[in-house]
Structure 1
Amino acid sequence: MDWVQSYKACPQKVGFLDLPRELRDYVYGYASRVQGAILLYSPNPYAMIPYSKAMQVRHKGEGPVEPQPLGTVIPIALLTACRQLHVEGSAILYGSNAFRLWFLSDIEIRLSYRQLVKHIIFTTEVDYHIFSHNLDEVSYWWKRRFWPNLIKNSTSAFERFPGLETLTFPIKPPRHGESWRPAFFAVANKTRHQRVTLAANWMKSRCPLENERLRECLQLELVPFTSRSKDEPDEEEEEEEEEEEWDCTEFVEAFELMKTLR
């Protein structure tokens, strides 16, 4: 982003721009970094001139329970005081926060801002077949549908946001509140290390990563299961003994290990 040096109306007074850049960046960071993530969306993607809006949303247990307008969280006035403050603050705002997207085509942001974005969380629809308990079915649809779609979306994300450092795809089970353990983790009498190693080798042949930049940036994670309230009745399922809760971070660990296998 281009900008010109700002000048004070009264040179004798000490102002914010007299501070060293390191201190100004500290202030920008304190003011612009949000807990959770920033959801970018278009209220009307079919409008003649579409535009994007932003909300603060919860992510990884941080941020508000209900989405909040970004203007109530970030002091926008700081970034509109002058051109120099806008450029310096925008680099922190766009570069230090995680942005959550649903549809890449709906986001109307100038390239000068998109180039600053470093962290994207891309929530996309996942083919329900990969949630099957049948390993052969999961293997087929993972390799034929899920992974090719993910690579396609990743390529589009890099084209629109050329400065990306992390691109995260959260995987959420098809039913709300349903816990899911991938079929390739359903192995008995194995330690965590053994399960992770087996899963990484299973993914190796089904997740080709020829692009080195994508290998470094791409992240997969499972949306953790939220326990049902004890007081909430369960009419759909019969009472069964609760299974030992599975740590879904094993999935993340296996995917990262898979990326190191050659």
Structure 2
Amino acid sequence: MDEQETFISHLIELRDRLLRAIIAWVVVFVALFPWARDLYTLLAKPLLAKLPQGGQMIATEVVTPFFVPVKVAMLTGFLVALPYILYQLWAFVAPGLYTHEKRLVLPLVVSSTVLFIAGMAFAYFLVMPVVFGFITSIAPEGVAVMTDISKYLDFVMTLFIAFGITFEVPIAVIVLVRFGVVSIEKLKEARPYVIVGAFVIAAIVTPPDVISQIMLAVPLCLLYEAGIFLARFVVRRTADDYRPMTDEEMERELDRIERGEN
């Protein structure tokens, strides 16, 4: 009976945490809604800056001018509310973690979020101007580049996700080394395959131009090397963090979890 009550209490807490996260997202979205058009204009700035004077984007469906800016406002609201959403997630799982697990999970969550946003910023400020400049420069004479706003949003989101995931490579490398899935020596041996794979992935997810492919593949390789470098410090601490706990330490951890302490 106690186990069932504990399970139900966890479900209730999970529901409350999810509701708080969703409410925070909705509140931020509602606050940003009046500026939905401005947000889309800001998102479209890298392309609009490369179009010839008087160039513009188009909407090929009736409801697209309304729904596309709303989508941008929703995505922006999610990014703004993301720290609070992650806090709710952390508050739910933290009581069940050991101390050494908390020392690992919290920095990984924070750093992975920062790196993903850094990847999006890299795509927006560096990659997109180069890509759109290349695309508009090779347009045949007499062809006006007039991109549909919905297609543009899909394209930009693909770039954001691709570069955001690329910037997560150091985190993936550290986690793999931390849990003994692969050694640093094996990672070094895999360098040639990683380089080839980076350019293959870049060719798939980026536009068909060499510049954007290089701008994705090169950071991926550099971040892979950064992950190997940082993993060295993780390996040095692994033996101490994962040593067998004494009976006294185990009792203290169990008491702490029962009291719900972080």
Structure having the larger proportion of residues in helix:
2
TM-score (norm. length: structure 1): 0.27
In terms of fraction of residues, the more strand-rich structure is 1
* Greater C-alpha radius of gyration: 2
Between 1 and 2, higher relative CO (CA 8 Å, sep ≥ 6) is seen in 2
